[in-house]
Amino acid sequence: MAQQKIFGYANRISVKQGEDITFYVNCDGASEAQVQLVRLIHGDAHEAGPGFQEEEVAHPANGSWKVKKQFTQLGSFLQVADPDNRLAVDGAFTMFCHIWPTIPKKGERQTLMGRWDTKNNTGFALAINPEGRLEFQVGDGKEVDYVTAELPLVARMWYFVGVSFDPASGQATLYQEGVANRYNSLLGKVVPHDYASHVRQTFRFRQKNAPSTPFLIAGSRDHHLLRGDFVSDLFAGKIDRPAICDRVLSREELDACKTGAKPNAAAILAWWDTTAGYSDRGVGQTVFDSGPHGLDAEGVNHPVRAMTGFNWNGRDDCFRLAPEQYGGIEFHPDAVTDCRWEETARITVPQDLKSGIYAMRLRIGPGTGITEEYIVFIVRPAKPSAKLCYLIPTASYLAYGNESLSFDAHIIQPMTGQPPVVTELDVETYEHREYGLSTYDHFEDGAGVCFSSYLRPVINMRPKYRMSSMNITWQFPADLSISAWIRHQGYDCDFITDEDLDREGLDAIKPYNCVITGTHPEYVSERMLDAQEDFVAGGGRLIYMGGNGYYWVVGFSRDNPACMEVRKLDSGMRAWAAKPGEHYLQTTGEKSGLWRNRGRAPQKLTGVGFIGEGFETASPYRKMPDAWHRTVSWITEGVEGEIIGDQGLAYGAAGGIELDRYDLSLGTPPHTKIIAATGGHSDNYVLVTEELLYAYAGLVGSLDYRIRGDMTYFTAPNHGAVFCTGAIGYGQALPANGFDNSAAKVLANVVEAFIKDGPLPGTKWTLEEKQWR
């Protein structure tokens, strides 16, 4: 029997009562899965907390589902819609494109463009051979004939490559020229490389075109007995302005095309203008053909656009300034943004199902480890009814979706100060890599991952999971500690997600008195940020429950709302750095990177912003002098002594992991008070890089006073207010000691005040003090 494992995802992450949700399941070693709708109560089995808790919910879909093995198409490529097979050229033709290969010597063939069937060896394709040389091949179903360039391609250099083939004479001529300028490539002109290669070979036969073979860019058709048709021989790197003409172009004509010029219109079969379609709101996944037949190409698994092209001059740093320099489309053989599995089941969320965090629990065989899957979704109320709203940071879940830092990132152990603790689930997903990467990972060619979607199993967005590099819960399972506490307190609470906030803006949270965030709402779009700012300014109360929040600028794809984009650049604690000129989001046209670098430091909304991080210990908070001021003294009411949060599920205290600090110079509202602050952090806690102008010795916990988490409070117009915990670990501290602890007490004071209509406590103590002491 095959090893048993089950994985799945849903088409939605946020569903309203009464709406449908569809599930997609891939299963090995079983044909039926035991299915149960569950409400997730608490996600961490840590002994200091209540343990893992779920509540089974009656639903007609419970019982047994038929499941099967499903296959995932990995890799990004372009598929040309060519219903009339106009590109099935039987006669003479010329194909060319500009390329910037990243791993030319991959040891595997990488197809650049063509109509090629790998299984049957039919068609024609321009490719890079396993040794890293440009190669053109034709196949007649029995044999393959090819011509190979003289010199290997050098990684990260721009080339203009092409081939012309005349079946009448059998002559196939390769054209390869370097088109590097001072900016666009890895190496400059001081390197004595010659990049040019022009090779002619006389072929013995011509291509045979099968009608069903698609014209692909950056991949070629393959077939597997069980799986059916799929795409293999995927290309890693950039392609700019690919084209195909229906006759042999002369050397002079190709010399002109090298500069980006279009060949004679009469010769063009298709000329994909990779620079078309840009607006100041970004660009989609369709690559337009400006040739006579309009054979547009569609991106699969999000080839990255808004990337510099072969003619990037280094002066214009955004496609909004010079779209004609942004024809580069970057392809990655290990990208996946939509698994495109067959539907397994569709259910309707009952009208009376309470808003909350739910999951479809699927089990096969023993039902533990990788034989158990939770497909998580959030149920929103059809109509808002509660005063409190829990804003689930799904954008941040996507950012971390399936991260594999423990396995691939050599910096993770120095960062976390401990050896990782991995489980069977981590090893399984790492080994198979079918479910894609997070925005913390690199593709195999070293490029950072900028797209993440939930149309794939996201193994760390499930209960019971602990982030292996830190051995604590992170993001979704950590946020369950907050919802468990809300439930324990008995507050009436509605749940919504980042996605809803991005779609609906302020309307999504306007009905509520108080919005509480997750432990680490790090990734926010402009609409999400605007909505929360307007919410607070309009009298709403915001509880920012974490650290390192409101940090990265993200955008959601127009054509696939399940997919989020981020580019990491310039400064900030970042897993990778976008290349020069590639700092703008293709999904929205905005500059990505840190909100702080765009004039919206998190301090402006919340009062605090990221200052330091450390992962092996945590500290409690101690009340700051302002805590005794009557405007805020109600917050710490009922806490004995000055220490807050000395227990917790994440390293034993509330003040840890990632810390945020009050900073007037970054826009902390001037009337903000620091209620309490953490301190005494170990040297594993380091200063964040965006604070760094010059690096100097001693930017660590025990030496730098700035490295601390600030618990802050300020009031906003119309009875609005913002309370911040200033540390990620606060959320995981709530369940400690049966929810009876000082951190939970403080939060309860705040929530209970915030959900009440009318003025907040302490608002009358606002006169200038006349003091005797």
* Crossing angle of helices 476-489 and 742-755, rounded to 10°: 70
Distance CA(641)–CA(635), nearest Å, equals 14
**Which residue in 407, 506, 560, 571 binds other proteins (CB under 8 A)?**
407
Query: CB 197 → other proteins: shortest distance, Å?
Result: 7
Nearest approach in angstroms of CB 594 to other proteins is 26
CA distance 179 to 161: 10
The Cα-based distances of 375 to 357, 537, 773 in angstroms read 11, 36, 59
Q: Any idea of the CA torsion for 410, 414, 417, 418, to the nearest 10 degrees?
A: 20
Is the Cβ–Cβ distance between 355 and 495 less than 8 Å? yes
Helix (H) or strand (E) holding 469: none
**423 counts as binding other proteins under rule CB under 8 A:** yes
Question: Quick check: 146 binds other proteins (CB under 8 A)?
Answer: yes
Q: Which residues of 319-337 are buried (b: 16+ CB within 10 A; e: fewer)?
A: bbebbbbbbbbbbbbbbbb
CB burial string 38-65: b at 16+ within 10 A, e below: bbbbbbbbbebbbebbbeeeebeebeeb
Nearer to other proteins, 427 or 664 (CB): 427
Interface with other proteins by CB under 8 A: which range of 34-42, 616-624, 738-746, 758-766? 616-624
Please tell me whether residue 193 binds other proteins under the rule CB under 8 A.
yes
Q: How far is CA 218 from its chain centroid?
A: 22
Return the structure tokens found at 702.
């025990």
- Binding of residue 200 to other proteins (CB under 8 A): yes
With CB under 8 A as the contact rule, the residue among 34, 36, 181, 201 that binds other proteins is 201
Among 34, 36, 290, 413, binds other proteins (CB under 8 A): 413
Among 19, 324, 504, 616, binds other proteins (CB under 8 A): 616
- Fill in the amino acid letter for 570: D
Q: Is 190 or 261 the residue whose CB approaches other proteins more closely? A: 190
Cβ of residue 423: shortest distance to other proteins, in angstroms? 5
Name the residue nearer to other proteins (CB basis): 66 or 251.
251
Question: Which residues in the 497-526 window bind other proteins by CB under 8 A?
Answer: none
Segment interacting with other proteins, rule: CB under 8 A, options 201-209, 497-505, 583-591, 625-633: 201-209
Residue of 444, 530, 642, 752 that binds other proteins (CB under 8 A): 444
Binder of other proteins out of 102, 110, 197, 285 (CB under 8 A) = 197
Rg (CA), the chain: 28
Instruction: Name the region of 727 (left: φ>0; alpha: ψ -120 to 50; beta: rest).
Output: beta
User: Considering the rule CB under 8 A, would residue 211 count as an interface residue with other proteins?
Assistant: no
Interface of this chain with other proteins, residues 249 to 268, rule: CB under 8 A: 251
Among 31, 202, 250, 351, binds other proteins (CB under 8 A): 202
Q: Which of 110, 406, 483, 742 binds other proteins (CB under 8 A)?
A: 406
Which residue number, 45 or 577, has a Cβ lying nearer to other proteins? 45
For the segment 652-681, give every residue that binds other proteins (CB under 8 A): 652, 679-681
Binding of other proteins by 198 (CB under 8 A): yes
Q: Which amino acid is at 46?
A: H
> Contacting other proteins (CB under 8 A), which of 20, 90, 150, 343?
150
How far is the C-alpha of 154 from the C-alpha of 101, rounded, in Å? 8
Interface residue with other proteins, options 26, 73, 94, 471 (CB under 8 A)? 471
Any contact of residue 152 with other proteins (CB under 8 A)?
A: yes
**Whole-Å CA distances, 605 to 366, 542, 576:** 48, 9, 27
Segment interacting with other proteins, rule: CB under 8 A, options 114-122, 314-322, 352-360, 425-433: 425-433
Read off the DSSP letter of residue 282.
B
45 touches other proteins by CB under 8 A: yes
Q: Return the range that interacts with other proteins (CB under 8 A); candidates 122-130, 617-625, 727-735, 737-745.
A: 617-625
Strand partners, 146: 137
- For residue 761 the two structure tokens come to 């406590």
**Does the protein bind other proteins through residue 173 (CB under 8 A)?**
yes
- Contact stretch for other proteins (CB under 8 A) within 26-34, 298-306, 426-434, 722-730: 426-434
The CA-CA-CA angle for residues 570, 564, 396, to 5°, reads 75
Our CB check for other proteins shows the closer of 265 and 427 to be: 427
Q: Binding to other proteins by residue 147, rule CB under 8 A?
A: yes
Give me the residue label for tokens 């990734």: 523
Kindly state the smallest distance separating residue 339's Cβ from other proteins, in Å: 18
Kindly state the smallest distance separating residue 617's Cβ from other proteins, in Å: 5
Q: How far is the CB of 255 from other proteins (least distance, A)?
A: 10
The DSSP code for 32 is: E
User: Does 683 engage in binding with other proteins (CB under 8 A)?
Assistant: yes
16, 52, 62, 538: residue in contact with other proteins (rule CB under 8 A) = 52
In the DSSP assignment, the letter for residue 266 is: G
Task: Report the residue count for the chain.
Answer: 773
145 binds other proteins (CB under 8 A): yes
Residue 404 beta carbon to other proteins: minimum distance, rounded to whole angstroms = 9
Give CA–CA dist 79/402, Å, rounded.
27
- In angstroms, what is the minimal distance from the CB of 212 to other proteins? 27
Is 204 a binder of other proteins (CB under 8 A)? yes
CB of 422 to other proteins, least distance (A): 6
**Residue 545: its H or E element:** none
Pick 387 or 464: Cβ nearer other proteins? 464
Place of tokens 């006669």: 91
- Which residue's CB is nearer to other proteins, number 670 or number 698? 698
Among positions 687-716, residues that touch other proteins (CB under 8 A) are 701-703
Task: Note whether 230 binds other proteins by CB under 8 A.
Answer: no
Which span sits near other proteins by CB under 8 A: 5-13, 18-26, 428-436, 690-698? Answer: 428-436
Asked if 682 interacts with other proteins (CB under 8 A), we say: yes
CA–CA distance, 610 with 708 (Å, rounded to integer): 10
d(CA 616, CA 653): 11
Give SS3 for 274: coil
> Smallest gap, in angstroms, from Cβ of residue 402 to other proteins?
13
State how far the Cα of 39 lies from the Cα of 491, in Å rounded to an integer. 16
Q: Considering CB under 8 A, how many residues would be counted as binding other proteins?
A: 64
The 3-class SS string of 57-106 reads CCCCCCEEEECECCCCCCCCEEEECCCCCCCCCCCCEEEEEEEEECCCCC
Q: Which is nearer to other proteins, 468 or 712 (CB)?
A: 468
Coil, strand or helix at 321? coil
User: Least Å distance between CB 519 and other proteins?
Assistant: 20
Other beta carbons within 10 angstroms of residue 346's beta carbon come to: 12
**Contact, 374 vs 462, CB < 8 A?**
yes
Residue 742: C-alpha distances to residues 627, 730, 737 (Å):
14, 11, 10
Give contact residues for other proteins (rule: CB under 8 A).
45, 47, 52, 143, 145-147, 149-152, 154, 173, 191-194, 196-202, 204, 251, 406-410, 413-414, 417-424, 427, 430-431, 433, 444, 464, 468, 471, 616-617, 619-620, 651-652, 679-684, 701-703
